[in-house]
Amino acid sequence: MNTPIEGFSKLTKEEKIAWIAKSYTTNSNETIAILKRYWNTDETLQKLHDEFIENTITNYYLPLGIAPNFLINDTLYAIPMAIEESSVVAAASKAAKFWLKRGGFKTTVINTEKVGQVHFMYTGAFEKLESFFNLIAPKLKKDAKDITKNMEKRGGGISAITLRNKTADLENYYQLHCTFETLDAMGANFINSCLEQFAETLKNEFAKSPEFKEHEEQLEIVMSILSNYVPNCLVRAEVSCPIDQLNEDKNSTAQDFAEKIVRAVQIAKVEPYRAVTHNKGIMNGIDAVVLATGNDFRAIEAGIHAYAAKDGSYSSLTNASIENGIFKFWIEIPLALGTVGGLTGLHPLVKLALEILQNPSAKDLMQIVAVAGLAQNFAAVRSLVTTGIQQGHMKMHLMNILNQLGASEGDKKTLVHHFKHNTVTHSAVIAAYNSLQEKE
């Protein structure tokens, strides 16, 4: 039975490893060896990683792949993707190549508004709070000047602060609903600092106000925090072509193929069970680029899934249509991304990923990420309505199975060749591997 530990964070890295190995694993020496194998030999680099979080014991690798040939608004990109799922980069590359021959991706940033809220409780008449708010609104901005001046110099800052009466949802609940322009920064620290200052000013001005002194009203700040729901930080990405150019699938006509895709998207529009998986496929592309570029994929995930449910039922993020002989496939998603601040200037691979993407602005990156999501969805739906998903998936998974079996490089080569013409299933790979061993 393990016992709790006091002061774990104060132990050295070696001590932490020794403790975790002894307390929670069966073979301490092996645990220590595995953890240390992932340490970087460059001590400066290792220290940088150690200091990203608390209690670091080693590094956790994900492959960083490249999906080339993405033509976005007539510029060619090679997109870095950090992901463990074997088929994702291959699928993105395939979709990029498909649309490269058909005019590429067209994208537009619709808006870049970020959101934060001060949540508070107030007992009293709304009208009174409203006139108090109108009185202090300029001071809310003025008191935050130290925080906002640099952002303002660059053209960003606080866009609006509004008082929202939420008492219909929760007794005595009000908000300062605030919007921001944070330019190339994701802006979490900027927004949260502004909000905490707004809360301070609100509390102090309320305490000082003669209007409220004589009465019974009370105001209590509950919390001040940015929102990862950013429905007005929106980007759109689209591909389109005349239907007769969709002639890649040997088993159906171009018209048939286009109709099948539209139908698959319609199903994901109305059926949440399908929509979740459909959107998961989109997130395969989005998360991989978000991660490679050092952005917060949890924030992006939360915001996008909330957006997918904005009409009251969880639905597809992509759309497809056939009009006047033109097939169109598009996505509209909220993406609050940064290309400065956070890990972007700190993590060498993130810096490199941004360089590969031609050092994009946050707006450029929104467009690239939306394209990665759209491409991924196109690739998935295309496979689903034609060959089925397993053919491509298992081909890519083949190497994982062979590695699990401990196949030699020579065996891998032979078996990859063998499965070019045979269906990959887990048992088929084992059988083929065993029969190869018997022959050797």
Instruction: Select the residue whose beta carbon is closest to ligand MEV and give its number.
Output: 281
For residue 383, the minimal CB distance to ligand MEV (Å) is 7
Binding site for ligand MEV (CB under 6 A): 85, 277-278, 280-281, 284, 380-381, 384, 389
393 is catalytic: yes
For residue 321, the minimal CB distance to ligand MEV (Å) is 18
CA-angle at 320, arms to 316 and 326, nearest 5°:
175
13 is catalytic: no
CA-angle at 179, arms to 184 and 206, nearest 5°:
135
Which residue, 384 or 405, is less far from ligand MEV as judged by CB?
Answer: 384
For residue 88, the minimal CB distance to ligand MEV (Å) is 7
For residue 277, the minimal CB distance to ligand MEV (Å) is 4
What backbone torsions phi and psi does residue 169 show, to the nearest 5 degrees? -95, -35
For residue 275, the minimal CB distance to ligand MEV (Å) is 10
Which residue, 228 or 284, is less far from ligand MEV as judged by CB?
Answer: 284
User: Given 85, 249, 259, 301, which residue is catalytic?
Assistant: 85
Which residue, 280 or 418, is less far from ligand MEV as judged by CB?
Answer: 280
- C-beta of residue 308 within 8 angstroms of C-beta of residue 279: yes
- C-beta of residue 328 within 8 angstroms of C-beta of residue 246: no
Exposed e or buried b per residue across 323-349, where buried means at least 16 C-beta atoms within 10 angstroms of its C-beta: eeeebebbbbbbbbbbbebbebeebee
Question: By C-alpha distance, which of 127, 63, 122 is closest to 89?
Answer: 63
Which residue, 117 or 279, is less far from ligand MEV as judged by CB?
Answer: 279
280 is catalytic: yes
143 is catalytic: no
Q: Helix/strand/coil (H, E, C) string of 86-146?
A: CCHHHHHHHHHHHHHCCCCEEEEECCCCEEEEEEEEEECCHHHHHHHHHHHHHHHHHHCHH
- C-beta of residue 111 within 8 angstroms of C-beta of residue 392: no
In a 13 Å sphere around the CA of 133, the CA atoms on its Cβ side amount to: 21
- The CA distance from 37 to 30, in Å, is 10
Dihedral over Cα of 191, 194, 196, 202: its sign: negative
- The CA distance from 196 to 204, in Å, is 12
Exposed e or buried b per residue across 116-130, where buried means at least 16 C-beta atoms within 10 angstroms of its C-beta: bbbbbebebeeeebe
User: Given 13, 49, 139, 280, which residue is catalytic?
Assistant: 280
- The CA distance from 246 to 254, in Å, is 5
Which residue, 94 or 278, is less far from ligand MEV as judged by CB?
Answer: 278
Which residue, 32 or 385, is less far from ligand MEV as judged by CB?
Answer: 385
CA 184 to chain centre: 17
In a 13 Å sphere around the CA of 92, the CA atoms on its Cβ side amount to: 34
Which residue, 170 or 309, is less far from ligand MEV as judged by CB?
Answer: 309
Bridge-based pairing of strands 173-181 and 157-165 is: antiparallel
For residue 124, the minimal CB distance to ligand MEV (Å) is 51
For residue 193, the minimal CB distance to ligand MEV (Å) is 38
Which residue, 115 or 317, is less far from ligand MEV as judged by CB?
Answer: 317
Which residue, 33 or 270, is less far from ligand MEV as judged by CB?
Answer: 270
The edge-to-edge listing of strands for the beta sheet with 234-242 is 106-109, 234-242, 326-334, 318-323
- The CA distance from 160 to 177, in Å, is 8
User: Given 94, 114, 119, 393, which residue is catalytic?
Assistant: 393
For residue 386, the minimal CB distance to ligand MEV (Å) is 13
What single string gives the DSSP state of each residue in 342-396? GGGGT-HHHHHHHHHTTS--HHHHHHHHHHHHHHHHHHHHHHHHTT-HHHHHHHH
- C-beta of residue 100 within 8 angstroms of C-beta of residue 78: no
For residue 330, the minimal CB distance to ligand MEV (Å) is 16
Residues noted as catalytic: 85, 280, 296, 393
